[in-house]
Amino acid sequence: MPRIQLRITGDRDVFDDVVNAIHGLDRIEYVEEIDDFGSGFRDDSSSFESSDDMSSSTYTVEIEVPNDKVGERVREIAEETAGNREAAIEFVYPDENEI
């Protein structure tokens, strides 16, 4: 089954809105918040208005779907919901070694 990981940078309520929107879709196998061990690491401490400077947090969620068509719908809904709330969204693709 296809697996999607995405990161939301913003407030917790924005993340919750995205997760709730995904839960509202049919045929979703599971949705789970996961710990993102790299989210506290900044590779450019001099960047202006980075997420740390803006008091935002990064949240990661993993979604399992039955096929690519449902996966595409998940991406569309997540991107639309995050965009409406002006939050950053990033789709994370696992390394081939992780699959």
Q: Distance between CA 97 and CA 88 in Å, rounded?
A: 27
The residue written with tokens 């996966």 in the block is 71
Tens-digit pLDDT profile for residues 34-73: 985 554 444 555 554 554 455 679 999 999 999 999 999 9
Give mean pLDDT, residues 81-91. Answer: 95
Domain 3-39+52-98: give its CATH code: 3.30.70.260
What's this model's pTM, rounded to 2 decimal places?
Answer: 0.75
For the chain, the domains span 3-39+52-98
Q: Distance between CA 47 and CA 9 in Å, rounded?
A: 16
Element containing residue 20 per DSSP (H, E): helix 12-23
Tens-digit pLDDT profile for residues 12-31: 999 999 999 999 999 999 99
Smallest CA-to-CA distance from 86 within 49, 56, 62 is with 56
∠ Cα 88 74 39 (to 5°): 35
